[in-house]
Structure 1
Amino acid sequence: MPSLHDVQHWLLTVMTTPGGAERGAMLARQTNGLTVAGMIHASRIADPMRRLGVYADGYLLRLYDCLATDYPMLRRVMGEEVFGFFARAYLWECPSHSPTLYDLGEGFPAFLSQHRPPQTDATDGTWLLPAELARFERAWLEAMRDHGPERVQHQALTASPWTSVSATHWEIPPCVRLLDLKLPLIPFWQVMVTSDDIAACPQPENSLVAISRMHYRVSAHPLADWQYSMLDALRQGCDVHQASQRVATRDMPKERVLADWMLWAPAAQELGLVTTRS
Structure 2
Amino acid sequence: MMVEASDFLPLPAFQQWMQQALLDPQQATAAEAVLNHSARLSAQEHLAIYQRSYMARLRGCMAQQFSALEYALGEELFRVFADDYLTAYPSRHYNLAELGRLFPAYLQSNRPDALSEDKEDWIDFIVELAGFEYALNVLFDQQAEENYHLAGLEDDESELALVPTCTLFRFQFPINTFYTQFKKGECPPLPFAGTSQCVVLRHEYQLTVYDIQPVPYEFLTLLATGMSVPAAQAAFSQRAPVTQLWPVWKKNWVEANLFRVRPKAG
TM-score, normalised on structure 2? 0.81
Moved more, 139-148 or 50-59: 139-148
Q: Percent identity?
A: 24
Moved more, 206-215 or 90-99: 206-215
1:145 Cα deviation (Å)? 3.6
Indicate if the aligned counterparts of 1:178 and 1:208 stay in contact, CA closer than 8 A.
Answer: yes
Q: Match for 1:200: what amino acid?
A: P
Indicate if the aligned counterparts of 1:178 and 1:210 stay in contact, CA closer than 8 A.
Answer: yes
- Coordinate RMSD, CA, aligned: 2.9
CA distance in 1, matches of 2:233, 2:90: 42
1:114 equivalent to 2:95? Answer: no
1:182 equivalent to 2:172? Answer: yes
1:61 equivalent to 2:70? Answer: no
In the alignment, what sits opposite 2:197? 208
In the alignment, what sits opposite 1:32? none
Q: For 1:61-140, what aligned pairs fall within 5 Å after superposition?
A: 61-116=56-111, 117-118=113-114, 119=116, 121=118, 125-140=121-136
CA distance in 1, matches of 2:247, 2:186: 40
TM-score, normalised on structure 1? 0.78
SS in structure 2 of the partner of residue 211 of structure 1: strand
1:87 Cα deviation (Å)? 0.7
SS in structure 1 of the partner of residue 239 of structure 2: coil
SS in structure 1 of the partner of residue 258 of structure 2: coil
Structure 1 spans left out of the alignment, 5+ residues: 27-34
In the alignment, what sits opposite 2:4? none
User: Aligned match of 1:267 in 248, 252, 260?
Assistant: 252
Indicate if the aligned counterparts of 1:241 and 1:258 stay in contact, CA closer than 8 A.
Answer: no
1:260 Cα deviation (Å)? 3.3
Once the two structures are superposed, residues 52-103 of structure 1 have per-residue CA deviations (whole angstroms, 9 ceiling, x without a partner) of 1111222111111001011112112211110000011111222223221111
In the alignment, what sits opposite 1:154? 150
1:13 equivalent to 2:36? Answer: no
Indicate if the aligned counterparts of 1:154 and 1:277 stay in contact, CA closer than 8 A.
Answer: no
Query: CA 1:155/1:184 → structure 2, altered by over 3 Å: closer, same or farther?
Result: closer
Indicate if the aligned counterparts of 2:85 and 2:106 stay in contact, CA closer than 8 A.
Answer: yes
CA distance in 2, matches of 1:261, 1:148: 28
Q: For 1:177-256, what aligned pairs fall within 5 Å after superposition?
A: 177-197=167-187, 199-214=188-203, 217-244=206-233, 248=236, 250-252=238-240, 256=241
Once the two structures are superposed, residues 205-248 of structure 1 have per-residue CA deviations (whole angstroms, 9 ceiling, x without a partner) of 111111224565533222233422333333333333444455x3
In the alignment, what sits opposite 2:262? 277
Structure 2 spans left out of the alignment, 5+ residues: 1-7
CA distance in 1, matches of 2:153, 2:45: 67
SS in structure 2 of the partner of residue 141 of structure 1: helix
CA distance in 1, matches of 2:234, 2:44: 65
